[in-house]
Amino acid sequence: MRKLVVGSRRSKLALTQTKQFIEKLKEIDSTLEIEIKEIVTKGDQIVDRQLSKVGGKGLFVKEIQNELFNHSIDMAIHSLKDVPSVLPEGLTLGCIPDRENPFDAFISKNHIPLDELPEGSIVGTSSLRRGAQILAKFPHLEIKWIRGNIDTRLNKLYNEDYDAILLAAAGLKRMGWSEDIVTTYLDKDLLVPAIGQGALGIECRADDTELLALLKKVHNNDVSECVSAERTFLKEMDGSCQVPIGGYAHKRENGEIEFTGLVMSPDGHQRFEHTEIGHDGIELGRTVSQVLKSQGAYEIIQALNDN
């Protein structure tokens, strides 16, 4: 196998999960020579505005995809929730490895439970999806925008006027944070996760057969089938970071896939949610999108995408 160059964002989390994936590859072949190339994306450069206000898709991947096209890297390890549902022609997701905890972590001062936060308590999140779902169920709370890496957000929780924050559980786990820091994990009945949350997507050139053969050895087909449902739903609904959209699929004990799709208005007042069970992830994603469109969810998305 030739020497491989892996592209990664420069954030601590991106570099950590890149190194963790490289270790998985080296468990398959200890002779592999792999180098990491750090790449700064547009999303990394915008630290003073909500990403939903910037617009566009692929804020964290476009520069990395350009490096793939230029052959300056061979593959990229993305958080799958950052990857648009449609890839540029010539690129592919070479594998979807094991999925980390897909849910959101609720972290509050003094570990006060979410349903016991007093009226007017401030919950920090940079996600429209999280904010809309919290406001829908806890309208007495206030959502306040927060950006930064895990360390930065935790520091803001304890030193600024936040009473709680919401973070992806997967990031905390991959960065080695103790379970003790989390007040509670919010399952899909309370907070439907982002599309692909907790999963990684390994992107490479579609004609790189040698690398694709290697990546196949660390591919998790069950996870791939589930995230296919989620990403198909995202594609069919034309979702983006400007839209409070979520979706979560998992394999049931009998091998069937259960998929729930969600679209909301940013203020939490309108909610469109539907669950389907079946064997084909792509068909499930399409079916749920059709149901939500028939209920009027697409009008919310169109209005937000046009702003």
Phi, psi of 134 (to 5 degrees): -65, -45
Q: Which two tokens stand for residue 132?
A: 């809309």
Provide the edge-to-edge strand list for the sheet that holds 200-205.
34-39, 4-9, 75-79, 200-205, 91-95
Q: By the 8 A CB rule, do 143 and 135 touch?
A: yes
Strand runs labelled E in the chain: 4-9, 34-39, 75-79, 91-95, 104-108, 122-124, 142-144, 164-168, 184-186, 200-205, 245-251, 257-264, 271-278
Q: What share of the chain is helix, strand, coil (3-state, %, to 5)?
A: 40, 25, 35
Amino acid at 176: G
Pairwise CA distance, residues 224 & 212, whole Å: 15
Among 306, 105, 92, 293, smallest CA distance to 205 is for 92
Q: Which residues are catalytic?
A: 82
Residue from 287, 284, 295 nearest 257 by CA: 284
